[in-house]
Structure 1
Amino acid sequence: MKKFRLALVRQKYRPDGGAERFVSRALEALDDQDIDLNVITREWQGPVNPGWHIHICNPRKWGRISRERGFANAARALWETKQFDIVQSHERIPGCDLYRAGDGVHRRWLEQRARILPGWKSRLMFSDRYHRYVMNAEREMYTDSALRGVICNAEMIKREIIEDFGVPESKIRVIYNAIDNTLFTPPDAATFIALREQWQLPVQATCLIYVGSGFERKGLDAAIRAIAPTDRHLLVVGKDKDQQRYQSLAKTLRCDNRVHFFGVQQETLPFYQMADGLLLPTLYDPFPNVILEAMACGLPVITSTGCGGAEFIENGRNGYVCDALDIDALQQAVMALPARALDSQQGASARARIMGCTAQHLSAQLIGFYQELLK
């Protein structure tokens, strides 16, 4: 394959963000290919390789719309000047060659969020200037003649894009995220016990882990309500400015002694390794990396119908899929999981399901798609 110039566009690189991890994994996976790698961003806090070219693009901003519009205009001006062969945007910017729909479809997220808001609040949300700006930018991008391809990380998102924007199926590729299954592994029995003791969790208890910041979207309310009437513990890894509200909910439901808030953790592996399952009743999520990480660690997963990761779950085999707001179904799923993931059939099935999601496979799929677009 002859050397070509690829530009990846992401407004802000945060090391803990799913889209950012896709970008850095893709860069690493593509690093041994003969590709001139460029990143257009406001701010890059990620790993830097001498062969990558980071283009800082940081216009002034006064609010959310100004931030989005300013970056979009500046990024587009930069890529038009540089004349890259392929511009792969991870932001909704009309004029890109290739878009990765890592955030899903904005209107679909608002529809799911409206389910938990009072009627007047959801009406306000849909008429909000920022949300209207994002939906318009998204529509403009999908209908722009420059768009040659779309990468989705779930079949669910592919369906939504076809239904909402009429993008031909031939333009869309579903490419699942990669997971390092040599780093994320089930613990041995001694490690499991040591971790439980280190974090002062009862060794005999069944503990479900919840990983994610932005508790409303990721369904922490439903997760707490699902474990409340059971004897299960919930390990909450992540942050939210409204954390106090969720702590109060656990107290009201008299399960605060079983809901443990650990905040954001630089290293999540030990938390997966001392858990017995992942509980993520997210309202809307294209395909969170935490599902792959948990499954690689041998954890069965309970997630929602609004999560693209549900495509990897077979009810009763490696977890359960429920509506995000169906507390009864979530409760039943919580009790149906094996009390101990370690050495369980469901845990083994969960890990087996993700073994094909390697960096090499991701790289091969991306390279194949790029070659098609370059033709």
Structure 2
Amino acid sequence: MATDPATTQRKLAHIHLGVDGGAEKFFVRLSRALAKRGVEQIAFIRHDRPWRDELAEHCEVHELKFSRSHFKRHFIRWGIARDIRNFGAKTTLGWMSPASKWLPKPGPDMRTFLRLGDFPDGFHTYGNVEDLIGNTPEIVRQAVEAGWPADRAHMISNFVDPLPDSLQPVSRAEFDTPEDAAVLIALGRFVERKRFDLIIRALAQLPETVHAWLIGDGELQEDMQRLARDLGVENRTHFLGWQRDPSPFLSAADILVCPSDEEPLGNVVLEGWNADLPVVATASQGPGWLIEHGKTGLLSACGDADGLAGSIYLLVSNESEKTTLTVNARTTLAERFTIEAISNQYLQQFGLQH
């Protein structure tokens, strides 16, 4: 199908194979923000994604069954390229490495980008990738160090949506948490690198008035529950499961904790700032870049439960320190991580700005 060049200027295609997590949330946020800027979009995703209907509110959605078969992959990729061409987009953005093998072939009428929210582990499927976009300087640095051309590697970070004025915090009573408790909140998968065990070990060193809400699920959840029992903090450690929208929980908490050993960005840091929570984190790659220690949050060494407990205790016992960190973090969020600023960077990179 022939397309009018005038209609292709503000069109973008996405390929996203993810399930449900921080990367998927940002995908929906960014595509919505670009739609509000007048960019028409088409997205190719797997069947039955929980965010499919939300995405479809502003984006044409094609649900596909992606195949590992080399023979079938050829036809699926050809079908994607055909649909993109018929849609009229001349730019395609793949999300994370698994999407790289489905990108159309770049050429005079097609630019291809791959957006990375994690560290690259090789480029063997990147044959159709022209440019990489990493959401932290460290991701870009590691890609270039691994051999990716520096002039084709770009850094654009994330944003979070402002919380609605109508947002109602969850009731602490529903989760067996006293109203006067100091509530720590952490979000993520219960996997080794997220180090939820550090929060539990820190909690054992903190006053009885401190409780922890752990939001997420994963293979190590039973191990974490056992650790809480062993350390005698089972009644203060609350496992709240995976929450698609953690905003009401953030609004009801007091301190956000990010204890990861490896965290490429730490979108939860932005979410904590957005909810006016002071942030305590270990100095993994992303939080170490986002947070200015003592100004916009508190950092301690990775794997150091004592250091994490010390940072938390400082905030629990010093309301003035909490206020200072929160005010400074809100300023940083407004200056560097707004919807407008990040959207403008993507539009400029894609050549879709007015």
TM exceeding 0.5? yes
Task: Spell out, residue by residue over 1:310-331, the C-alpha distance to the aligned partner (whole angstroms, 9 max, x if none).
Answer: 3221112222223331223222
Query: 1:315 touches 1:321 (CA, 8 Å); kept in 2?
Result: yes
Contact 1:227/1:234 (CA < 8 Å) preserved in 2? yes
Provide the C-alpha distance between the structure 1 equivalents of 2:72 and 2:133, rounded to a whole number of angstroms: 21
Q: How does 1:258-297 map to 2 (within 5 A)?
A: 258-297=236-275
Aligned to 1:203: 179
Task: Calculate percent identity across the aligned residue pairs.
Answer: 24
**For structure 1, which runs of at least 5 residues remain unmatched after alignment?**
61-65, 107-134
TM-score normalised to the size of structure 1?
A: 0.76
Q: Is residue 2:20 matched to residue 1:20? A: no
Q: Conserved in 1, the CA contact under 8 Å of 2:192 and 2:220?
A: no
1:113-132 deviations in Å (ceiling 9; x for gaps): xxxxxxxxxxxxxxxxxxxx
1:290-369 correspondence runs (5 A): 290-339=268-317, 344-356=323-335, 357-369=337-349
1:10-159 to structure 2, matched below 5 A, reads 10-14=16-20, 17-43=21-47, 44-45=49-50, 46=52, 47-49=54-56, 52-59=59-66, 66=68, 73=74, 76-82=77-83, 83=85, 84-92=89-97, 93-94=100-101, 97-106=112-121, 135=122, 138-141=123-126, 144=127, 146-159=128-141
> CA 1:224–1:29 in structure 2 vs 1: closer, same or farther (change >3 Å)?
same
Partner of 1:248: 226
- The CA distance in 1 between the partners of 2:232 and 2:163, in whole Å, is 39
Give the TM-score taking structure 2 as reference length: 0.80
Cα RMSD after superposing both structures? 3.1
Q: For 1:294 and 1:282, locate their aligned partners in 2 and report how far apart those are by CA, in whole Å.
A: 15
Residue 174 of structure 1 corresponds to which residue in structure 2?
155
Secondary structure (helix, strand or coil) at the match of 2:26 reads: helix
Moved more, 74-83 or 306-315: 74-83
AA at the equivalent of 1:335: Y
Please give the alpha-carbon distance, in whole angstroms, between the structure 1 residues aligned to 2:253 and 2:283: 23
Aligned length: 326
Name segments (4+ residues, structure 1) moved above 6 Å: 69-72, 340-343
Shift of 1:70: 8.5
Quick one: distance in 2 between partners of 1:209 and 1:334?
11
1:349 aligns to what SS in structure 2? helix
CA contact (8 A) 2:13 2:92 kept: yes
Which has the higher relative contact order, 1 or 2, with Cα contacts under 8 A spaced 6 or more apart? 1
